[in-house]
Amino acid sequence: MNPLRLLKDLVASLHGGSDPRHLAAGFALGAALGLIPKGNLFAVVFLLLFFALNVNKGMALMSATFFTPLGYAVDALAHRIGLALLKAPALHGLWTALYDLPVVPLTRFNNTVVLGNLVLGLALFAPLYLLFLRFVSWYNARWAARVEKLRLVQALKGMAWFQAYQEWTR
């Protein structure tokens, strides 16, 4: 993936070139991927979803990049959530059954931070999707035309290298 092309596609998408639902889904999926600690099967599954689903890849990458440090910042909260879930007597049988399955331990669900961040990511998915969907509509209605008229944007679009790059990425 070419990072410049992703950035160009992301900006074009925000300016009405993409379905807002794909942008919002990319943002929410990237947030969930960013919150989950890396190095376990959950992260791999979310990464596979990133490629398998019809989401805006640039938005998902930007969101994952933003939410990864945030995931570290909420580790204390995630630990408390994960610990409460792992110690819940009603779920003890579920955790035992999952741990006895062949591949499931690779998810590291028995790590309090991994489980807590997974729960946070899943709990925030729908609200982030809806919030970002509303943001895209607001941005397109109020700011997209203004941003296009900015001198900086006009100057960048007028540069020969930018026009050549646009032709190259088509």
Q: What are phi and psi of 102, to 5 degrees?
A: -65, -45
66 inside domain? yes
For the stretch 117-151, pLDDT in tens is 999 999 999 999 999 999 988 888 887 777 777 77
Rounded CA separation 94/21 (Å): 35
Report helix, strand or coil for 156. helix
89 inside domain? yes
For the stretch 54-101, pLDDT in tens is 898 888 988 999 999 999 999 999 999 999 999 999 999 999 999 999
Does residue 8 have a pLDDT over 70? no
Residue span of the structural domain in which 74 resides:
3-141
Q: Which of 64, 56, 65, 67 is nearest to 26 (CA)?
A: 56
150 inside domain? no
149 inside domain? no
7 inside domain? yes
DSSP string covering 115-134: HHHHHHHHHHHHHHHHHHHH
109 inside domain? yes
- pTM confidence score: 0.80
Rounded CA separation 48/91 (Å): 28
Say how many domains are in the chain. 1
Residues near 18 by beta carbon (within 8 Å), at least 6 away in sequence:
9, 12, 56
Q: Which of 7, 12, 30, 28 is nearest to 140 (CA)?
A: 12
Q: Which of 28, 45, 56 is nearest to 122 (CA)?
A: 28
146 inside domain? no
52 inside domain? yes
3-state helix, strand, coil in the chain (%, to 5): 85, 0, 15
For the stretch 37-57, pLDDT in tens is 988 999 899 889 888 998 988
